[in-house]
Amino acid sequence: MRASSPDGPEALLSALATCGADPDSPAWRDLTRIMDTVARADPAVSRFWPPHVTGGHPAEPTHWRELARELHVLASRDAAARQALTEWVRHHPGAARTPSGPAPSATANVISGDSVLHGPSVQARDIHGGIHFHPSSPPPRAGLPVPRQLPPVTARFVDREDDRRALDALRARRAPHAPQVLVVSGLPGVGKTTFATHWLHEHAESFPDGQLYADLGGRATDEGDGPVSPAAVLEAFLVALGASSVPPGSAQRSALWRSMTSGLRLALLLDSAFTAAQVRPLLPGTPTGLTVVTSTSMLTGLHIDGASVHRLEGLPAESAVELLAFGGGTRVAREPTAAREVVRLCGHLPLAVALASAQLALRPHRSVSALVDSLGRRSPVETLHVEGEAVMRTALDRTYDVLPDNSRVLYRRMGLLPADRHDLALLTALAGNEEDTRDTGQAADIAVHALVEANLLQETGPGTYRFHDLVQPHARRLGEELEDADRQERTLRCFVDWCLSTAASAETLLTPSHRLPGHDLSACTVPPTPLTGPEEALAWLDTYRNGLMGAVRHSARVGWDSFCWRLVDLIWPLFLRLRPSEMWIEAHRLGLDAARRCRSRQGEGRMLTSGAIGLRNAGRYSEAADWYRQALEQAAADDDVRQQAQAVSGLGHVSLLAHRLDEARGHFEHALRLREAIGYRRGAALSRRRLGETALAGGDLATATEQLRRAGTELDSLGETYEATRVLALLGHVLDRSGDGEGGARRLREALARFRTGGTRSEHWEARCLEWLGQAAESLGDHDESIRHYEAARELFRRLNPEDAQRLDGRLRRS
């Protein structure tokens, strides 16, 4: 009979009291080593060890009882302590006798004389009826210890509470009559093995028949490059369970394995699996067992075996900083901003953060900021080493090596792109083969699926994908090393063409009147991503804004000047609706230089007027006015009336913001005359809107109402929904100021609803509507409603414009 686990203080008390009777026994020496270990986990235990012995007499029973209670509490919360104490009892069965009685045999019950009954027995004066014994599982071969092969737990393990609960939930949902398989999947370095090991140690008591471990990612031989074969793993497992001989064939080993594990409560950790086929022969033949598989792949092939998959992500920032502090010590607390930047550069991956922590430990005088500089110059994939090896790069190389050919090609080409999001339409173009264009879409879909399966690519939405932060540099390095210069250029040209064609579609849907006459995209070779309406067009611009800016920068750098300024011009709805100020200014500076290099007068004019709006929104009024004046001079020289009106209107807006109202009104009236002269109805309506704003600023509410009503009617008739909604919001504010609080609030609520959804979405105008609704509620005497609106507006402005947020702070203090 196997010794029981120390699952209660009474069982521990019995074992400890017997051990204490002989301080020279092996059990005492082993317990001393265990106590040294557990005392590091809980120093409070140290006060009970070593026990106080007087005159050669053992310690008092009360001492053993207190020690047993303390150890039981520690074992209930510390998996390593629980396992160590369990193993101690098992390896020293003589310690498990009661203090006052003889020790029972570990393998037999002696009845009398030479008579021995093997297995369970019952002692009773009289026995009536049938007696049935139900052993929990077949016993192993005599003399073999229960296998406990899990890797040791590490002290540097933080957080993962949500992942633990997720795995517990998956385990609880298992089918009662089928073996359970859990796959823990994730990027190299995300901590799959460490997490699975800790989780299984925590549940060790559920598997009294043993825990087996195999590294399926290891090499089959010292010389071989392939992974360990299932046959080799089965041989080791069968021996560990006590098989006297192991059959030579894989099929026979699998059959014996299923027979030997039938009915066992056994846990398996199959680490670093490559494929489902590698795992399937190793599944035990018992519904009472559990198999946990770790892999960089999702191993979707195991779904037919009932497997559940849990994808492990990087650590939360706070937990990753805690891990960094193991090596960084107080330096991490002194430089919290730098510590968070190290974590970000490491992609929140535990392996990378642990390696960064080790670098700090090895160089105790190095600041965390210095580590940031080091990681910033070169990717952590290349920088972080163990014994001279770039372990993150090695891990990613291994994952890349087992990809199908077409997935490796796509991975390298994606790495070359200056983008953080990837669209399926783009990937289809990248995966295309110039020599064979048949079934390109299907081939791309297969290639993308393999990258997602390998956790190198993450699907973030329908047809939208992204690399992990540490994967992208690896893909880029392979692209630069393995793709020739011509292929690299064609890949990047394909990307820029896709940006141009899809941005043109988005512009048509969002601001059709902005389209520059006389320009088409006949040179583009890549079809656009299909966009079904304004809402989807705006969402596309928002999702791919960094990639679009990457295409602008690359075009400027390599001299694709016409592509550069045209792309800046096409993504005008992104600047207008989402207002990314720094990006707006940088893009137009690059576009302006590109237009001048390729001597495009139209391009130069568009960059000046559109770029001036970005400068104006950023509060750089003098620089904005200078750009507008340059645009006006050029438009006058070219006799371009439409551009003259745009520049004049821009100068009027700068004057309005500076509260030079007469000057502003003169500019807007001039722009209105120019636009009406050429029949530019949209432009004329926008000029009336500006005249309405100018009248509002001067307190002429009647004129403001008239101009805004005319502008709104015209814009509605032109289908200019976004501009018409801006006018609607302004009109609501003017009506509230005029004393029509109910009418004003009604229009503001309507505008607010539009700005929150669909193709008219704009956080800037949402915030303005909320502030004006707060003023309307205040004028109606609804104090609580006004506070609610002001607070909501302030939260939006904190992200968009700190100065506006400060203004709302002041308003709230006065309320």
The verdict on residue 4 lying in a domain is: no
Q: Which of 209-218, 457-466, 472-481, 803-812 holds the top average pLDDT?
A: 472-481
| DSSP helix/strand/coil, 118 | strand
Residue 322 has pLDDT above 60, yes or no: yes
- With tokens 């001067």, the residue in question is 698
Residue 542 has pLDDT above 80, yes or no: yes
Per-residue pLDDT averaged across 543-556, rounded?
96
Do β-strands 308-311 and 422-423 pair in parallel, antiparallel, or remain unpaired? Answer: unpaired
Q: What pLDDT shows up at residue 776?
A: 92
The verdict on residue 269 lying in a domain is: yes
Q: Which residue has the higher pLDDT, 552 or 244?
A: 552
The verdict on residue 500 lying in a domain is: no
Q: Is the domain of 634 the same as that of 772?
A: no
Q: Is the domain of 231 the same as that of 215?
A: yes
Q: What is the pLDDT of residues 443-452, one digit of tens each?
A: 888 899 889 8
Specify the range with the lowest mean pLDDT, choosing from 228-242, 402-416, 438-452, 675-689.
Answer: 438-452
Q: Which residue has the higher pLDDT, 75 or 114?
A: 75
Final residue belonging to a domain, choices 84, 108, 132: 108
Q: What is the pLDDT of residues 751-783, one digit of tens each?
A: 999 999 877 888 889 999 999 999 999 888 899
**Can you tell me the distance from the alpha carbon of 387 to that of 397, in angstroms, rounded to the nearest whole number?**
18
Q: How far is CA 25 from CA 22, 50, 92, 93, in A?
A: 6, 15, 10, 13
Q: How far is CA 413 from the centre of its chain?
A: 23
Neighbours of 337 (CB within 10 A): 9
Per-residue pLDDT averaged across 649-668, rounded?
96
Q: What pLDDT shows up at residue 101?
A: 39
Contact indicator for 106, 4 with CB cutoff of 8 Å: no
Q: What is the pLDDT of residues 779-801, one digit of tens each?
A: 888 999 999 999 999 999 888 87
Q: Where are the alpha helices (DSSP H) in 230-385?
A: 230-240, 250-261, 276-279, 317-328, 330-334, 336-345, 350-362, 368-377, 380-383
Q: What pLDDT shows up at residue 139?
A: 45
The verdict on residue 64 lying in a domain is: yes
To 5 degrees, how large is the angle CA 524–CA 525–CA 527?
90
Q: Where are the alpha helices (DSSP H) in 183-229?
A: 192-202
The end-to-end CA distance of the chain, in Å, is 78
Residue 102 has pLDDT above 80, yes or no: no
The verdict on residue 546 lying in a domain is: no
Beta bridge partners of 295: 185
Contact indicator for 427, 410 with CB cutoff of 8 Å: yes
Q: What pLDDT shows up at residue 371?
A: 86
CATH of the domain at 212: 3.40.50.300
Q: What pLDDT shows up at residue 91?
A: 61
Count of the separate structural domains present in the chain:
5
Largest interatomic CA distance in the chain: 124
Q: What whole-number percentage of the chain has pLDDT above 90?
A: 40
**Can you tell me the distance from the alpha carbon of 56 to that of 312, in angstroms, rounded to the nearest whole number?**
55
Residue 460 has pLDDT above 80, yes or no: yes
**Can you tell me the distance from the alpha carbon of 723 to that of 798, in angstroms, rounded to the nearest whole number?**
24
Give me the sign of the Cα torsion angle 308, 312, 318, 323: positive
Final residue belonging to a domain, choices 80, 108, 136: 108
Q: What pLDDT shows up at residue 461?
A: 83
To 5 degrees, how large is the angle CA 266–CA 171–CA 8?
60
Q: Is the domain of 611 the same as that of 710?
A: yes
pTM: 0.67
Q: Is the domain of 684 the same as that of 624?
A: yes
Q: Is the domain of 90 the same as that of 167?
A: no
Q: Is the domain of 605 the same as that of 712?
A: yes
Q: Is the domain of 648 the same as that of 770?
A: no
The verdict on residue 802 lying in a domain is: yes
Q: Is the domain of 691 the same as that of 619?
A: yes
| Mean pLDDT computed over every residue of the chain | 83
The verdict on residue 452 lying in a domain is: no
Name the residue among 269, 267, 41 with its Cα closest to residue 151: 269
Q: What is the pLDDT of residues 338-372, one digit of tens each?
A: 999 888 888 888 888 888 888 888 788 889 898 88
Residue 205 has pLDDT above 90, yes or no: no
Per-residue pLDDT averaged across 592-608, rounded?
96
Q: How far is CA 810 from the centre of its chain?
A: 37
Q: How far is CA 606 from the centre of its chain?
A: 39
Contact indicator for 720, 682 with CB cutoff of 8 Å: yes
Residue 173 has pLDDT above 90, yes or no: no
Residue 265 has pLDDT above 80, yes or no: yes
Give me the sign of the Cα torsion angle 386, 390, 396, 402: negative
Q: Is the domain of 204 the same as that of 289?
A: yes
Q: What pLDDT shows up at residue 80?
A: 63
Q: What is the DSSP string of 411-431?
A: HHHHHTSS-S-EEHHHHHHHH
Q: What pLDDT shows up at residue 227?
A: 73
Sheet containing 290-295: which strands, arranged edge to edge?
Answer: 211-215, 267-271, 290-295, 180-185, 308-311
Q: What pLDDT shows up at residue 484?
A: 93
Final residue belonging to a domain, choices 284, 311, 338: 311
Query: Which range of residues forms the domain containing residue 617?
Result: 600-719
- With tokens 């979405």, the residue in question is 761
- With tokens 């120093």, the residue in question is 43
The verdict on residue 88 lying in a domain is: yes
Specify the range with the lowest mean pLDDT, choosing from 75-84, 104-113, 189-198, 233-242.
Answer: 104-113
**Can you tell me the distance from the alpha carbon of 721 to that of 709, in angstroms, rounded to the nearest whole number?**
15
Q: Which residue has the higher pLDDT, 481 or 246?
A: 481
Q: Is the domain of 301 the same as that of 340?
A: no
Q: Is the domain of 336 the same as that of 242?
A: no
Q: Is the domain of 191 the same as that of 282?
A: yes
CATH of the domain at 616: 1.25.40.10
Q: What is the pLDDT of residues 487-532, one digit of tens each?
A: 999 999 999 999 999 999 999 999 887 777 766 665 567 889 999 9
